[in-house]
Structure 1
Amino acid sequence: MAKKRIRIDMEDSDGARYDIKLEGNVTRDKVLKIFEMMDLMNIEEEHEVTNMDSVGSKIWNIVDKFFPMGKFTSTNILEKYEDEYNEPVKLSVISTYLSRFSSKGRVNRTRTGREWTYQTIKLAQKQQ
């Protein structure tokens, strides 16, 4: 079995840098503890501070603003996106970004019938 290795580089709002490395028997619980520590230190992810120039950042803003708790679908995001930004976007574009957010560990993705249901990781951590 291959040795697992995770590296997390962060910078807080004051400019202090943090470099955390996990090697060996890396479990979900250990990673969750690291995120809890980051939450206690008020370290926010760098991409949460980005401006709203890209479609991806706008979609994440919708997820963060309207669905911090509970589950949602790409159709829910589509409706809120068009209401919030008054611009059209294809459902396939939203689905692609949500899939990317899932692969990056920002949201959980579950198959529900014929569609995908999403939930932010922050909420999933607090429910356990």
Structure 2
Amino acid sequence: MAKKRIRIDMEDADGARYDIKLEGNVTRDKVLKIFEMMDLMNIEEEEDQSVKMDSVGSKISHIVDKFFPMGKFTSTNILEKYEDEFNEPVKLSVISTYLSRFASKGRVERARTGREWTYQSIKITPKQQ
């Protein structure tokens, strides 16, 4: 089994910077522990007030970041959260198109599961030598 590596860079509200690296046998549980530690330290992603969510793409990106920071999701999951969060309708095909674009830009990973695509925002990649 190839070694895996994940790196998380953060900055808190006071300007302190954190650089966390996991190498070797990286599991979902270990990554979840890092997020729990961030929660204990009250490190959370602040929403940039200068970035307005005025486009469908930015709203979908917001949904992915807020509700699916890790783990798998489908375009239908995004549709449900989008309509709940923004209280406006959107077509499933529009969401699928944006998720496909995010995948081609390397923002999410995309895999075929049965008859549908599943996406994942966190990437754990093998260590390159």
Measured against the shorter chain, the TM-score band is 0.5 to 0.7
Higher relative contact order (CA 8 A, sep 6+): 2
For the residue of structure 2 that corresponds to 1:53, the secondary structure is coil
How many percent of aligned residue pairs carry the same amino acid? Answer: 73
Aligned residue runs from structure 1 range 1-128, under 5 A: 36=7, 39=9, 49=48, 50-120=51-121, 123-125=122-124
Shift of 1:127: 9.7
Task: Give the 4+ runs in structure 1 shifted more than 3 A.
Answer: none
TM-score by length of 2: 0.60
**What letter matches 1:125 in structure 2?**
I
- State the aligned residue count: 88
**What letter matches 2:124 in structure 1?**
Q
Partner of 2:30: none
Unmatched segments (≥5 aa) in structure 2: 12-16, 18-46
TM-score by length of 1: 0.60
Distance in 1 of aligned mates of 2:59 and 2:69 = 15
Partner of 1:20: none
